[in-house]
Amino acid sequence: MSESGKGTAIATWAKRYISTFDLALVSIDPGEKAPKGLGWNKPGGYITDADTAEAFWQRNPNHNLGVVLGPSRVCSLDVDDVQWTRHVLYELLGLDLDAMAVVFPTIVGNPLRFRVVFKVPEGIELTRHSLSWPNEKDPDGSIFKGLMDKAKSAKEQGDLAAEAAARTEAEPFKRFTVFELRAGLVQDVFPPSIHPGTGKPYIWKTAPSATDGLPTLTNELLTIWQNWEFFKRDAEAACPWAVALPKPPVKAVKRAVLGGGKRPSVIDEFNRCHDVAELLRTHGYIQRGNKWLYPQSSTGLPGVTISEGKVYSHHGADPLANGHQNDAFEVFCLLEHCGDQSKAVKDAARMLGMQHAVRPDANDLPPTPSGELNGPISDDTCSSSEAAPAPDGGRGGHNAGSHTSSFCAG
């Protein structure tokens, strides 16, 4: 199926979509992007017989053609804003949007946008989700809200001209859609329908294989779909001009100066010699764009950030999720010594060749990073194993090998 859509009659495409790809089709009036009336997405409202579809579009060659996603077992990533979809997917998951559009079946109507099409995995039901951002000219939405309040007031007073003027004035300030995850009882326009905005046919930028059919939705996109509320939170925060919500103050970690100030602090020396990103990688954390994924995460979405050399984790089960920004020593203490600072300081001194630089006692130890543990943790609470370095993350790196780590049990 290599044709772009321009040279093949729509009736032929309609028959092929059903006979080859088992899609459910719906007719759309000429110059429109959506079907009219009720019931088009219910049994009897769409067409699943290839000969019936061919006959309909032979009689109505100017009608556009839609695919009802739910009964077709089809879903799509509908990219409304290419620049910022590219930004979000890479920043949060390390996904390469442009490569995705080359590898997977992709439809283009408006040349500034595109839609990537997949088959829904067996045994899974998906619904539609949409990510929108505030307008860059109105980050907090106050301008748009004020103008819409003005339009509402004019309408209540019967001043239709003032209402229309206020709505027109508000248009440049409204929120915009970054992308949609489309599935369920909605429809997507398929080639070679005519785009009402351009007057030109929708085309397959990358066509599906007639032999293999549509590819199954990728694991990365399925993870987004099934954990939408978590992803949406991070994706909205990734907007460069979004007004940040107030955050609770980060708990400060106070430390006593070790060795009377005459010798270098074991902790300070450890922090000077160790990089937090390398510590995370060694313990099986996986880099996804600018964030890191806790190896035992139940959502599969990265929730660990590094800022100014310190680690903060949003993963509920992560030992590093203690409400602090943890430096390299605190990461080492939590992941390798279950928060036991006495053991961590002794081990760090041994690693650094500073056994004589410090004699840990209660007065020389830093507070527990979690702020909750009041004493040493028994050896029974930790299960240690060799840590295997994880492969480098980075752009387009979606897969990671298995890891072992010395996380605390429990």
DSSP string of 125-165, one letter each residue? ----EEEEE--TT-TTSHHHHHHHHHHHHHHHTT-HHHHHH
User: Do 102 and 153 reside in the same domain of the chain?
Assistant: no
Q: pLDDT of 126-139, one tens digit each?
A: 999 999 999 999 99
User: Do 61 and 189 reside in the same domain of the chain?
Assistant: yes
User: Do 317 and 289 reside in the same domain of the chain?
Assistant: yes
User: Of 237, 268, 283, which residue constitutes the final position of a domain?
Assistant: 237
Distance in angstroms (rounded) separating the CA atoms of residues 313 and 22: 44
User: Do 95 and 182 reside in the same domain of the chain?
Assistant: yes
Give residue for tokens 């890891």.
403
User: Do 340 and 280 reside in the same domain of the chain?
Assistant: yes
Claim: this prediction has a pTM higher than 0.85: no
Domain residue limits at 216: 10-134+175-237
Mean pLDDT of 83-87: 95
User: In this structure, what DSSP letter does residue 245 have?
Assistant: P
Residue 103 in domain: yes
What is the per-residue pLDDT for 208? 95
User: Do 53 and 183 reside in the same domain of the chain?
Assistant: yes
- DSSP sequence for 286-354: EEETTEEE-TT-SS----EEEETTEEEE--TT-TT-SSS-B-HHHHHHHHHHTT-HHHHHHHHHHHHT-
Residue 154 in domain: yes
User: Do 45 and 159 reside in the same domain of the chain?
Assistant: no
User: Of 203, 237, 271, which residue constitutes the final position of a domain?
Assistant: 237
What is the per-residue pLDDT for 352? 84
User: Do 179 and 168 reside in the same domain of the chain?
Assistant: no
Residue 266 in domain: yes
User: By three-state DSSP, how is residue 67 classified?
Assistant: strand
Q: pLDDT of 249-272, one tens digit each?
A: 544 445 544 444 455 688 888 988
Amino acid at 367: P
User: Do 64 and 187 reside in the same domain of the chain?
Assistant: yes
User: Do 148 and 189 reside in the same domain of the chain?
Assistant: no
Q: pLDDT of 100-113, one tens digit each?
A: 999 999 999 999 99
> Smallest Cα–Cα separation from 76: which of 196, 183, 168, 161?
183
User: Do 56 and 151 reside in the same domain of the chain?
Assistant: no
What is the per-residue pLDDT for 247? 52
Q: How confident is the model at residue 5 (pLDDT cuts 50, 70, 90)?
A: very low
CA distances from 188 to 19, 74, 376 (A): 18, 10, 60
Amino acid at 125: E
- 61 CB-near residues (< 8 Å, 6+ apart): 9, 10, 11
Q: How confident is the model at residue 324 (pLDDT cuts 50, 70, 90)?
A: confident
User: Do 154 and 99 reside in the same domain of the chain?
Assistant: no
**Total count of domains within the chain:** 3
User: In this structure, what DSSP letter does residue 270 have?
Assistant: H
Q: How confident is the model at residue 80 (pLDDT cuts 50, 70, 90)?
A: very high
Residue 407 in domain: no
